[in-house]
Amino acid sequence: MLAALNAYVLLGGADFGGGVWDLLATKPRREEQRALIAHAIGPIWEANHVWLILVVVLLFTCFPPAFATIVTELHIPLTLMLVGVVLRGSAFTFRTYDSSADDVQRRWGLVFSWSSILTPAALGICVGAMSAGAVGSASSNPGAPFLERFVLPWTNPFVLGVGLFALVLFAFLAAVYLTVEAEGDVGLQRDFRRRALGAGMALFLCAFGTLALARAYAPRILVGVTQSPAALPLQLATAVMALLAFAALIVRRYRVARLAAGAQVSLILWGWGISLYPFIIPETLTIQAAAAPPITLRLTLGALALGAVVLVPSLVYLFRVFKARPSAFASLDESPESSH
């Protein structure tokens, strides 16, 4: 499940980050920036959701008590997240095929951008509420008033901070990826390099701000990410990858920056997952207690292996077709303004 979530963050997360930069696109290359984002997202954005679907299916099948608790206690942010996914995909499609009139394009563009902000923020809020133990506390008091049980657990400063952290994380990934997508256009590469460095600094501030809030609202996660046996090597590896990503951006080695940023984000995610162990819902439900019967787990493992035989080659082929040609965005190269 964590591996599937990792794939979703690296691939789908960057797509959502692209929506952030679509909203923040600025002159003189605003239209070129938006065209590059649409070009980068267009061929694969639907396929990236397969990883989120896999996470949900595995949680439902292999850990049904955890699935029931999470979707019940966090049904409001989860619904907001799903609404964001639907609105974003719909707006992206309608913006492509609807009228090219400015007001129509502006309307769909705003829906696309704001839903791209809503979805990762809601995802981060769900992760934060789980990490803080708020989900487990809420489920242990079924007679609590609606506000206390279904709203307050995901609206404390730490949880909202994790939502902001997830949003900035996705924006950082997208900006780094777009420096590679813009190969051949120095102006666009410079635009997204500047955004990547800014988002990286914002990510740094969000990380320390969230950790500071964890002391009061999520002490378990703070101990897990700072004092567990795996904490030190994971923190060191994350710091090295972060510095490498920054250094590569500064010297304009964009492909190296993309690899380092992906590794940095993956290490952050796995550090979070390890900090929760042995719980799947902290303080309430362990992985072992939430696990389905062994026969279900074995059958699911077999289904995963069979599914991988179809899924992995299909995705590799998809990426080779649409992503193996950096010069595919050639139309922008013809723009005199884009090279300034």
Q: Residue-wise pLDDT tens for the chain (340 aa)?
A: 999 999 999 988 888 898 899 999 887 888 899 889 888 877 666 777 888 899 999 999 999 999 999 999 999 999 999 999 999 888 888 888 888 888 888 899 899 989 999 999 999 999 999 888 888 777 777 788 888 889 998 999 999 999 999 999 999 999 999 999 998 889 999 999 999 999 999 999 999 999 899 988 888 888 888 888 888 899 899 999 999 999 999 999 999 999 999 999 999 999 888 888 889 988 889 999 999 999 999 999 999 999 999 888 888 888 777 766 554 444 444 444 444 3
Per the CB < 8 A criterion, the answer to whether 177 and 189 are in contact is no
Going by C-alpha positions, the residue among 258, 293, 219 that lies closest to residue 63 is 293
What's the predicted TM-score (pTM) here? 0.88
How far is the C-alpha of 285 from the C-alpha of 263, rounded, in Å?
A: 30
Neighbour tally for 70: CB within 10 Å: 21
Q: Could you give the dihedral angle defined by the CA atoms of residues 36, 263, 214 and 155, in that order, rounded to the nearest 10 degrees? A: 30
Q: Please report the pLDDT score of residue 299 as a whole number.
A: 96
311, 315, 317, 318 alpha-carbon torsion, rounded to 10°: 140
- CA dist 228 and 121 (Å) reads 27
N- to C-terminal Cα distance for the chain? 45
Q: Please enumerate in sequence order all residues whose Cβ is within 8 A of that of 29, keeping only pairs 6 or more positions apart, or say none.
A: 187, 188, 191, 337, 338
Beta strands in the chain (DSSP E): 279-281, 285-286
User: For the CA atoms of the chain, what is the radius of gyration?
Assistant: 21
Distance separating alpha carbons of residues 196 and 107, to the nearest angstrom = 27
Q: How many CA atoms are closer than 13 Å to the CA of 217, on its beta-carbon side? A: 24
What confidence score (pLDDT) does residue 270 get? 92
Q: Are 76 and 57 in contact (CB under 8 A)?
A: no
* Distance in angstroms (rounded) separating the CA atoms of residues 109 and 202: 25
Find where tokens 């090295």 sit.
Answer: 240
